[in-house]
Structure 1
Amino acid sequence: MRNELLSPVEMAEADRLAIAAGPLDGYGLMRRAGEAVAAAVLARYPAATRMHVLCGPGNNGGDGYVVGRLLWESGVDVAMWVSGEPRAGSDAALAAADCPLEPRPLSALAAEPGSLLVDALYGAGLSKPLSGEAARAVQIATDLGLPVVAIDLPSGVSGESGAILGSAFRAATTVTFARKKPGHLLLPGREMCGETVLADIGIGDGIIAQIAPQAFENGPALWLPAFPVPVVDAHKYKRGHTSVFSGGPSATGAARLSALAAARSGAGAVTVLSPANAMQVNAAHLTSIMLRKAEGVADLGAFLADRRPSSFVLGPGFGVGEKARDFALALLGTGQTPDTGVEGLVLDADGITSFRDEPETLFQAARGFGAPGLVMTPHEGEFGRLFPDVADDKVLSKLAKARAASARANAIIVYKGSDTVIAAPDGRAAINSNGAPWLATAGSGDVLAGIIAGLLAQGMPSFEAACAAVWIHAEAGSRFGPGLIAEDLPLAMVPVLRALAESGVAAR
C-alpha cells in the first residue's frame, strides 16, 4: 500500500534506513527529490520564464538547490534566495556547491507579478512559527498572487498536525516523497497544499514496512479485502440484522435515515426499535424496514433473545438522558458472545451526549463488551463533551486526539469533520480526504451511523467498517454534488457500493 502516512519523525527514519540500505546515499535521495520537483514544475508551468527558488538551511533547502540547477539547465531564468547557509559537509551543502546560480539573501527577496515561486524553506519538519524574512516571503507571494510549488509541505504548515505555524505559503502544487504526511490531509494544512504529488525517490515499500506506520489515508486499499460481498447462497439473516433505536413521535426521522442507510449498505434485515407512542408514526413511513416496540431494557432483552440482531445504532433523534444510557449499557453488558450475536453498537448524537456527565461508565462498559465493539461518531462538540481534557489540549493534533480518545474508551472513534479521523484502540488511525461540503446538511451523520452499523452486521471488523463507511458516505456526497439532502444519500450510495462490490469480487 502507498496509503500509509509518515510523521516527520518517521520520514526521517525512512531516509536513514534507505541510505543505510543503499544504493543511494543521502545526496542521491536529494537529487531524486529535486528531479521530481523540477519535473512537476516544468510539466505544470511550461511557459514560465521567471522562477524564484527559496532555500532554507536544511535538507529541504538542499532539494531546492537541486531544483534551481535543473530549472536553470532547462533554460528557465532562475533566481536563488537563501535563508542561512547549509551545514558544512551536509548533503544540502553538496547540493549548494553543485548549483551554479548565485545565492541571494532571502531578506532581499524581490519577485515580479507573473513569476513562479518554489518553496524549499522548511518542509514537513517545521516546529515553530515562521517569522522574519520567511514570513515576509509568504506575504510577498500572497500580495502578488504568485503560484507556489512547495517541496514536501508548504513552509509554515506542520507536517504533524496540519496546523498553520504563524503564517504559511498557499501552494498550487506540493510535491512530497515516499509517503504523505498527516499535515497533507488534516485541516487547515490540506487547504494550503493545493494538488499534492507523491513522488517515488527510491525509498521502497520494504523500508516503509520496517517503520510499520499506524496512520493511513482512508481509501478502499485500506479495507476492501474485508468489504462484505454476498455469496451465492446468502439469505437475509446471513447478511446480518441491524437495529436502530427511534426517538419519540416528533423525532423519528433520524432513526429511519439510519435504518435505510444500514439496509442500503447491505444488511439483510433492519428493524427500527420504537417507543410505543411513535409506533404509528414509524409504521406510516416504513416499508422494507421492520418495526418493533422497545419501551425499555426488558423489551430489548426479549428482542435480543428472539431475533439475535448483529448491530445497533443508538442516538439519532433519540433524546438525551437516562433511557439512552440504559439501552447502551444493556447492550454493552451482553458482551460479544454467541448467545446474543451482538457484534457492535454505533453510538451517535444524543447517545454520546447522554454520557457527558459520566463518561467513565460508558468506557468501562465498552472495555467489558469486547475488542472493540463500540463505535462512536462525535462531531467536535460531542467529542468535547466526552473527552474535555483531550479536546482542550492545544498541543495535540486531531489525529492524536482521536487516538487518545479511542485508547481511553476502548472504542472506535470517528471524529467527524471535513478531515474526519477514524481511530482504533490499538493505535491504527485513518484520515479521510474525499469529504465534500455538500455533506454539511441535517441528517447526514445519521446516514453515516447507519452505514457503519450495516457493515458491522455483515461481519466487517469495526475499524475497517468505520473507515469504509466514512469513505462511502463522502464519495456518495461528492458524486451527488449540489442540492444534496440527507434523504438522497442512501440511494446515492448505490453506484459507489456497486463499484466496491465488483472490485472486491475481482480481488478475491
Structure 2
Amino acid sequence: MLRAAMPHEILTPDEMGAVDRAAIEAGPFDGYGLMRNAGAAIAAELLRRYAGAARFDVLAGPGNNGGDGYVVARLLAEAGCLVGLWAQGAPRAGSDAAKAAADCPVAAKPFGDYRPDSESVVVDALYGAGLARPLDQAFRPVFRAIEGAGVPVVAVDLPSGLSGLTGRADGPCPKADLTITFARKKPGHLLEPGRSLCGELVVADIGIPQRVIGSRALNENLPALWAAALPAPSTDTHKYARGHVAVFSGPPTATGAARLSALAAARAGAGAVTVLSPPSALQVNAAHLTSIMVRRVESVSDVADFVSERKVRAAVLGPGFGDFDRLRETALALLDTAAAPFTLVLDADAFSAFKDAPASLFISAGASKARLVLTPHEGEFARLFSDIARDGTLSKVEKARKAAVRAHAVVVLKGPDTVVADPDGHAVINSNGSPWLATAGSGDVLAGIVAGLAAQQMNPFDAACAAVWIHAEAGRRFGPGLIAEDLPGIVPGVLKELFAGAAVR
C-alpha cells in the first residue's frame, strides 16, 4: 500500500541556513532553543532504537552540528546512560555550540584519541550540511576504526564529510546506519552516494513552521506533488479522448523495445496506442500485439500524416530504432510540424543519433509548439551534454537543470536517484528507486508511461515526475526476478490506489 503523506520540499544547505535564521527571527525559539530541540529529538531516537546499548560515544565538532552533539551527550547522561564525548576543536566563544558545551556535564576528550569498542553506539556530530569542503585525511584513522569495529553509527544531519548539496564525499566520510536531519531533507540525503551513506533517514520536527519554509523549486518526488493532476477518465469519455500515443519501432531484430513502450503507454491510461513500424518489421510487430495497433510507415511524410489524421498527442522515439539518420529526420520533423498538445519523448538511440549535432535538436525544441521530454541515463546524458556532464562542481540536480534550459525540454536524468527538471528551474529527486529496475528494457517502459500520461494532457513535467515514481513503485512491488515485461502489468494497481485517494508517500 502507498504510505502516509510527508513534506516534499528539499532545502540546499544555504537555504536551510536562511530558514534557520528566519525561524529564529520569527520565534518562539532562539538559536540555542532550536539546538536544544534538535538534541532532544536525536536523544529520543537513540533511546528508542538503542535502549540496551552499553555506551554512547558522541563525536562533536566545533560548529552547530557539534552543539547538537553536546546537547545529546547531556540528555543521554541525564537519562542514566554511559556517555563518552570526544571533541574535534572548541566551539567559538559566545556561539550556541559554546553554550551547549558549557551546559554539558560530560568531559570532552581529544577527537584523535577516539577508538570505539564493540559495545559502542557512535553519534557522529562532527560536521553537518554546512560543511563546504572535504574533510582532511586526519579524520581517516578514526573513521576506519569505527568501520572496523562494526558498531552502529548515527549521523547528526549528515555523515561528516558528505556534501549536503551534491551527495558526494570527496574526502573521509563514515557510513551511517541512521541519519537524523531537521525540518527538511537536503539534496545530499537523496543523491547517490549520499543516499547510501546516510542509511535510514529520519526528518525531525524541531519547531520550524511551514510558513518559514514556504514553497521550493526543488522537491522530493512524492505523489503529493502531482497526484491531483493524474488524468482520471470521465464517465462519457471515449478512447481518443483519453489520448493517442505513437511508438516508433525499429527493424525486425529490434522490435521488442517499442512494444514495451507501447504496452506501458496503454497501461498508463492512453486510450489508443499505435506502433509505427517499418515495412520489414510489420509482421513481427503484428504477431506480438493485440490491443496495440500497428501502422506501416515508410517516410517522414507518412508519420506527419498519421499524427495529424489520428490526433496523436504523444510519441516515443528511440527505443530499438537503430537508423540514426532517419531518427534525426523524424524527430526534427515532429518538432517542426506537430501542434500542441503534442509531447515527444526521446529515449535510447535518440541520444546516439543526436550526439554529433545536439544543437539541431535544441533549436527545434525551442521553436516548437510541441513539448519535448528527454529520458537519458548518465552515459546517454553525456552524449548530448558533454560539457555539463564533465563539470565535477555540479550536482546531479544542477546538471539536469542546466540541460533542461539548454534543450528547452523536460530532462529525466535516470539512475537510482533519478532527477527530473524543467526549463523553468523546477526539479525533483526521486527517492523510491529500486535496484530491481536495473534490467534491460526498463527504460523503454518508463518512456512509455511518460507518453501515456502526457497523451492524456498531463503537463510534461508532472507526467515525467509521476511516471518515474510509478515505474519505481512497480519495480519495488515486484522485487527479485523482475524483467521489463513485468512492469506494465503492475502499473494499473499503482494507479488504482492513487485514483482512490489512498494516503501517498
TM-score range, shorter chain: over 0.9
CA distance in 2, matches of 1:128, 1:4: 25
Query: What are the Cα deviations for residues 210-241 of structure 1, in whole angstroms up to 9, with x where unaligned?
Result: xx421111110111111111111111111111
1:247 maps to what in 2? 250
Aligned in 2, Cα 1:132/1:352: closer, same or farther, shift over 3 Å? closer
1:52 maps to what in 2? 57
CA distance in 2, matches of 1:336, 1:305: 9
Partner secondary structure for residue 206 of structure 1: helix
1:429 maps to what in 2? 427
Query: What are the Cα deviations for residues 229-266 of structure 1, in whole angstroms up to 9, with x where unaligned?
Result: 11111111111111100001111111010000000000
Partner secondary structure for residue 346 of structure 1: strand
How far the C-alpha of 1:134 sits from its partner, in A, is 2.7
1:152 aligns with 2:150: no
Partner secondary structure for residue 237 of structure 1: coil
Mapping of 1:407-486 within 5 angstroms?
407-486=405-484
1:393 maps to what in 2? 391
How far the C-alpha of 1:373 sits from its partner, in A, is 1.1
How far the C-alpha of 1:302 sits from its partner, in A, is 1.4
CA distance in 1, matches of 2:169, 2:150: 19
Structure 1 runs of 4+ with >6 Å offset: none
CA distance in 2, matches of 1:183, 1:21: 27
Query: What are the Cα deviations for residues 280-328 of structure 1, in whole angstroms up to 9, with x where unaligned?
Result: 1111111111111111111012112310100000000001411001110
1:328 aligns with 2:322: no
| Corresponding residue to 1:276 among 268, 271, 279 | 279
Contact 1:314–1:347 (CA under 8 A) maintained in structure 2:
yes
| Corresponding residue to 1:318 among 318, 321, 325 | 321
Contact 1:241–1:457 (CA under 8 A) maintained in structure 2:
yes
Amino acid at match of 2:313: S
Query: What are the Cα deviations for residues 180-217 of structure 1, in whole angstroms up to 9, with x where unaligned?
Result: 001001000110111100011111110111xx421111
CA distance in 2, matches of 1:225, 1:146: 44
Contact 2:137–2:172 (CA under 8 A) maintained in structure 1:
no
**What is the percent sequence identity of the aligned residues?**
60
Partner secondary structure for residue 332 of structure 1: helix
Partner secondary structure for residue 106 of structure 2: coil
Amino acid at match of 1:238: A
Contact 1:161–1:186 (CA under 8 A) maintained in structure 2:
yes
Partner secondary structure for residue 219 of structure 2: strand
CA distance in 2, matches of 1:180, 1:137: 27
1:378 maps to what in 2? 376
Partner secondary structure for residue 250 of structure 1: helix
CA distance in 2, matches of 1:320, 1:84: 62
1:94 aligns with 2:99: yes
1:229 maps to what in 2? 232
Contact 1:123–1:152 (CA under 8 A) maintained in structure 2:
yes
2:3 maps to what in 1? none
Query: What are the Cα deviations for residues 358-405 of structure 1, in whole angstroms up to 9, with x where unaligned?
Result: 1010001111124x7100000111100000000111111111111111
How many correspondences in the alignment?
Answer: 499
Contact 2:343–2:372 (CA under 8 A) maintained in structure 1:
yes
Query: What are the Cα deviations for residues 18-39 of structure 1, in whole angstroms up to 9, with x where unaligned?
Result: 0010110000000000001001
CA distance in 1, matches of 2:234, 2:72: 54
Q: Where does structure 2 lack aligned partners over 5 or more consecutive residues?
A: 1-5
Contact 1:422–1:466 (CA under 8 A) maintained in structure 2:
yes
Contact 1:444–1:486 (CA under 8 A) maintained in structure 2:
yes
CA distance in 2, matches of 1:244, 1:88: 66
Of 234-243 and 328-337, deviating more is 328-337
CA distance in 2, matches of 1:273, 1:319: 14
Give the superposed CA RMSD: 1.3
Partner secondary structure for residue 313 of structure 1: strand
1:497 aligns with 2:502: no
1:298 aligns with 2:301: yes
Partner secondary structure for residue 287 of structure 1: coil
Aligned in 2, Cα 1:56/1:465: closer, same or farther, shift over 3 Å? same
CA distance in 2, matches of 1:335, 1:203: 48
Partner secondary structure for residue 52 of structure 2: coil
1:353 maps to what in 2? 352
1:200 maps to what in 2? 205
Of 265-274 and 295-304, deviating more is 295-304
Q: What is the TM-score of this pair, normalised by structure 2?
A: 0.97
CA distance in 2, matches of 1:343, 1:42: 55
Of 298-307 and 356-365, deviating more is 298-307
CA distance in 1, matches of 2:165, 2:126: 17
How far the C-alpha of 1:65 sits from its partner, in A, is 0.5
Partner secondary structure for residue 452 of structure 2: helix
Mapping of 1:47-126 within 5 angstroms?
47-126=52-131
1:369 maps to what in 2? 368
1:285 maps to what in 2? 288
Query: What are the Cα deviations for residues 343-364 of structure 1, in whole angstroms up to 9, with x where unaligned?
Result: 2000000122211111010001
Amino acid at match of 2:266: A
Query: What are the Cα deviations for residues 457-491 of structure 1, in whole angstroms up to 9, with x where unaligned?
Result: 01111111001101111110110011111111111
CA distance in 1, matches of 2:230, 2:309: 28
CA distance in 1, matches of 2:429, 2:403: 15
How far the C-alpha of 1:124 sits from its partner, in A, is 1.1
CA distance in 1, matches of 2:338, 2:164: 40
1:186 maps to what in 2? 191
How far the C-alpha of 1:49 sits from its partner, in A, is 2.1
Q: What is the TM-score of this pair, normalised by structure 1?
A: 0.96
Partner secondary structure for residue 157 of structure 1: coil
2:9 maps to what in 1? 4
| Corresponding residue to 2:23 among 14, 18, 35 | 18
Of 20-29 and 489-498, deviating more is 489-498
